[in-house]
């Protein structure tokens, strides 16, 4: 036996020689490759004994039987060249898995980012809705609340007082806004302030069961210098007398313009044989009514009186209604009970 350089048997050396020789005949040849020397087999060719043609390469059936190559190298015939066609793609699988993992991570990151964006959008939308609701609520509260720059909210006011009889009254001085004198120089004729819009109305009868006359006694006098149709007059009595047999409720009524500016209305009245009542009411109900029954006379006696009413409404374009009646008539037969309406004046409150 001939010893091989590495101490192997002669059979091993001969196997290599046979492989080389057989390779030429069987179509298997040697070629230099980046990984060392390999055997390749032509298409349809055969490999030497102990080798198999796998994807164009002669591969050893077992690692231990791989032939020694020139220079003492060993061909790892059972490991395919993954860089050449015919590799089994074992290295590609981890790469594909890594790519898939990266894609999955990117997809997860994108999903999380979308979820975060949606959550942020929802939070911002909720914040916007809450802010809008707060703004609307504030606007409603501000609208309901009084504006400070407009001053305090206007409220109505109505107060009254009764004075005794008068001696002489200058209607021009008392009625700077308006004045009226009734039933002079004869019943049905009235005089009022010239050059102003009518703020004191004419009178109307209320209660029924009465006869109206001209009053020409029993009271103080009036004068004026700015009247119409009589421009000026002095020493005038005059007035409306309501003569009634009804036990209660007969009298007269008038109205006065009211707004948020305080004014003073003076009404010159009188009564005979009974208890009179004066009632004043604001049309917007912004203040309690004023009611007075202090002019209370025994049978067959009469007296005059002045009522001074200080008032203002809570809004413009309102009215003050004044009603003067015989609340308790002590003379329902014979010389009947009476109430009188002579004049009225209007001026600003001091």
Residue with tokens 């009970």: 337
pLDDT at 7: 43
Q: What is the pLDDT of residue 217?
A: 86
Question: Of 213, 330, 217, nearest to 272 (Cα)?
Answer: 330
Q: Please, what is the average pLDDT of the chain?
A: 78
Residues of the chain with pLDDT > 90, as a percent, come to 53
Judged against a pLDDT cut of 60, whether residue 93 lies above it is answered with: no
What is the C-alpha separation between 295 and 221, in angstroms, rounded?
A: 20
pLDDT at 140: 61
pLDDT band at 49 (very low <50, low <70, confident <90, very high): confident
* Residue 87 pLDDT greater than 60, yes or no: no
- For residue 8, is pLDDT > 70? no
In the structure, what pLDDT confidence band is assigned to residue 119 with cuts at 50, 70 and 90?
confident
Order the strands of the 250-258 sheet from edge to edge: 204-206, 250-258, 318-329, 274-282, 290-292
d(CA 74, CA 64): 10
Contact by Cβ (8 Å): 186, 238: no
Confidence of residue 243 (pLDDT cuts 50, 70, 90): very high
Where is pLDDT greater, at 68 or 226? Answer: 226
Q: How confident is the model at residue 4 (pLDDT cuts 50, 70, 90)?
A: very low
* pLDDT for position 52: 72
What's the average model confidence in pLDDT over 1-30? 40
- Quick check: 125 pLDDT over 80? no
The 3-state DSSP class for residue 176 equals coil
**Edge to edge, what strands does the sheet with 221-224 contain?**
168-170, 221-224, 233-236
- Number of CB atoms found within 10 A of residue 12's CB: 14
Is pLDDT larger for residue 116 or for residue 298? 298
80 CA to centre of own chain: 80
Measured in residues, the chain has a length of 350
CA pair distance 301, 212, nearest whole angstrom = 19
What digits encode the pLDDT tens for the residues 165-224? 999 999 999 999 999 999 999 998 999 999 999 999 999 999 988 999 999 888 899 999
**Mean pLDDT (whole number) for 81-98:** 51
Q: Where in the chain is the domain with CATH 2.60.120?
A: 157-348
Contact indicator for 297, 308 with CB cutoff of 8 Å: no
pLDDT at 38 over 80: no
More confident residue, 90 or 128: 128
d(CA 219, CA 217): 6
- CATH classification of 157-348 is 2.60.120, yes or no? yes
Q: How many CB atoms lie within 10 A of CB 350?
A: 6
Give the Cα separation of 266 and 341 in Å (integer): 12
Contact present, 256 and 319 (Cβ < 8 Å): yes
As given in the structure block, the two tokens for residue 286 are 């912004």
* Three-class SS state of 23: helix
Give the helix/strand (H/E) hosting 15. Answer: helix 10-26
- Give the mean model confidence (pLDDT) for residues 114-129: 69
DSSP for 55-123, please give it: TTEEEESSSTTPPB-GGG-B--TTS--TTSTT---TTHHHHHHHHHHHHHHHHHHHHHHHHHHHHHHHH
Confidence tier at 22 by pLDDT (50, 70, 90)? very low
* Residue 278, phi-psi category: left (phi > 0), alpha (psi -120 to 50), beta (remainder): beta
- Distance between CA atoms of residues 163 and 160, nearest Å: 10
CA distance 199 to 257: 5
**Of 217, 82, 236, 214, residue with least CA distance to 169:** 236
């Amino acid at each position: 036996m001939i010893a091989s350089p590495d101490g192997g048997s002669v059979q091993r050396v001969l196997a290599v020689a046979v492989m080389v020789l057989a390779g030429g005949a069987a179509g298997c040849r040697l070629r230099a490759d980046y990984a060392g020397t390999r055997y390749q087999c032509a298409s349809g060719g055969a490999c030497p004994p102990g080798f198999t043609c796998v994807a164009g390469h002669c591969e050893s059936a077992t690692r231990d039987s791989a032939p020694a190559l020139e220079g003492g190298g060993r061909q790892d015939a059972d490991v395919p060249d993954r860089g050449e066609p015919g590799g089994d793609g074992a290295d590609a699988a981890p790469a594909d898995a890594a790519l898939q993992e990266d894609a999955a991570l990117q997809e997860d990151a994108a999903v999380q980012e979308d979820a975060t964006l949606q959550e942020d959008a929802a939070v911002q939308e909720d914040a916007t809705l809450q802010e809008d609701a707060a703004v609307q609520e504030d606007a409603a509260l501000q609208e309901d609340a009084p504006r400070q720059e407009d001053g305090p909210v206007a409220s109505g006011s109505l107060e009254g007082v009764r004075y005794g009889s008068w001696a002489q009254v200058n209607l021009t001085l008392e009625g700077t806004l308006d004045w009226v004198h009734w039933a002079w120089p004869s019943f049905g004729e009235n005089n009022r302030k010239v050059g102003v819009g009518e703020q004191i109305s004419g009178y109307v009868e209320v209660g029924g069961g009465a006869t109206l006359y001209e009053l020409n006694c029993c009271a103080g006098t009036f004068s004026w210098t700015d009247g119409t149709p009589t421009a000026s007059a002095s020493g005038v009595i005059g007035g409306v007398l309501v003569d009634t047999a009804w036990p209660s409720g007969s009298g007269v009524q008038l109205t006065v313009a009211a707004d948020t500016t305080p004014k003073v209305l003076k009404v010159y009245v009188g009564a005979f044989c009974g208890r009179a009542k004066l009632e004043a009411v604001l049309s917007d109900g912004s203040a309690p009514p004023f009611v007075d029954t202090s002019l209370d006379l025994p049978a067959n006696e009469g007296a005059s009186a002045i009522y001074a009413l200080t008032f203002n409404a809570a809004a413009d374009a309102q009215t003050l209604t004044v009603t003067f009646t015989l609340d308790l008539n002590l003379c329902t037969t014979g010389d009947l009970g009476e109430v009188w309406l002579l004049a009225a004046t209007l001026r600003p409150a001091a």
